[in-house]
Structure 1
């Protein structure tokens, strides 16, 4: 089963000459950032929906490599969780650096692994899912066992400069007119978490919005709206301007370090 795979920005980037400057996951693969109640990033998780006993795939290896790059030089952890995409989670395949193999562990043991990163596990249901359309058995497990004490955000897009990560990019889209849309205040917890991860690595963090229409459905990425988000600033979210999609792909943004 595949989840929430359609996105106009990804579609454009997959065909443009700057494709190699970007990384994103799709289908049954996610890079997730987990933080504590103070929005401090504790672990970056690669979650993959695949049969538990298969050999690690090329896409999974690439995602783990990127996750390790994201936390390089910090005390933020990295782990890999593979779940059966067709069943509620009772067992997962699990790995973190230092492990020679990828064993099968129970749901309860998975909770213990996340506790080791300093995350508080509880039975309260979280009020906000990552994205309803990207729901999977893993996301259901996460909502059931992590609750509101843990902040979680997914990594939508990463921009490289050569071999080095330079930007974390949050992609947003809706039916709201592009001139009127502003980042939602209820998303600020996620943005602060991603901003803190970015600043730990001296990266930039941007929010990029595009408009889509309902009838007929059209994901319009011809023009995007760009915000810089820096939790350290008094006004943490600042509108930078509009770019056409070619300018965005070429990296024409204002740096915010």
Structure 2
């Protein structure tokens, strides 16, 4: 797995902490919600070099785990497999037994059918030259939606034990608190937990990025500042996101 520079993922892998599940590199697990932050669908999205190649064993394993997560969160599950050199995607949903090919316009209709985006909202053509065709298409064609990338899930057996947001920056631990710009994403995750009917804690772990050689930043995992979000009984607006500061711990203490 490509850690994309995230040392927490590397620590989990090196210490064989099998109760944790994450995606890195060109793989994402996403919750899509409508403009009001109400979750509609759980997606596994991944980029490949060539859509004509069959899904790998790793892709199939990730898909199965993501479908289990979606089921526990009481959300429909979809899989979107794309390549930057292709004008179509491969798509899977709960009612199918295999991937099938869709144009981006048809993919938009699928998101409409799940209630993520309202029909009639503006569409833009798919860019031919982009570093991530799907994510650019999502930004340009799904309108005013909310979408959040799940960083880390902890399992207890086959049940979700916790959802964990990972943040890092150059700001010292004593200065940093969750950014208000992220509140819509936090609210979407909170609403997902509420509507799942399960008691799933939602944490945020923050670590420092220190200055390194040639402008590179180095992750400092010696101390982790962490917060726990308040999970209410009802869905919320992003303005109603609340959290409690839990302290500063070492990574082994938290994991």
- Partners in 2 of 1:161 and 1:100 — Cα distance? 28
Q: 2:230 corresponds to which residue?
A: 230
User: Aligned ranges for residues 73-92 of structure 1 at < 5 Å?
Assistant: 75-84=74-83, 86-87=84-85, 90-92=87-89
Q: 1:252 corresponds to which residue?
A: none
1:22 aligns with 2:20: yes
Instruction: Calculate the aligned-residue CA RMSD, in Å.
Output: 2.2
The 10-residue stretch of structure 1 (189-198 or 116-125) with the greater mean CA deviation from structure 2 = 116-125
Secondary structure of 1:72 counterpart:
helix
Q: Is the 8 A contact 1:69 1:165 kept in 2?
A: no
Tell me by how many angstroms 1:151 deviates.
0.0
1:211 aligns with 2:208: yes
Q: Report the TM-score, using the length of structure 2 for normalisation.
A: 0.85
- Partners in 1 of 2:227 and 2:61 — Cα distance? 28
Q: How many aligned positions are there?
A: 235
Distance 1:90 1:218, change over 3 A: same
- Partners in 1 of 2:210 and 2:63 — Cα distance? 35
- Partners in 1 of 2:94 and 2:4 — Cα distance? 29
Q: Is the 8 A contact 1:192 1:230 kept in 2?
A: no
Secondary structure of 2:253 counterpart:
helix
Q: 2:128 corresponds to which residue?
A: none
Q: 1:142 corresponds to which residue?
A: 138
Task: Give unmatched runs, 5+ long, in structure 1.
Answer: 126-134, 250-257
Q: Is the 8 A contact 1:3 1:136 kept in 2?
A: no
Structure 1 residue runs of 4+, over 4 Å off? none
Q: Report the TM-score, using the length of structure 1 for normalisation.
A: 0.84
CA deviation string 1:180-222 (max 9, x = no partner): 1000011000001111222323211111100011233310112
Task: Give unmatched runs, 5+ long, in structure 2.
Answer: 125-130, 234-239
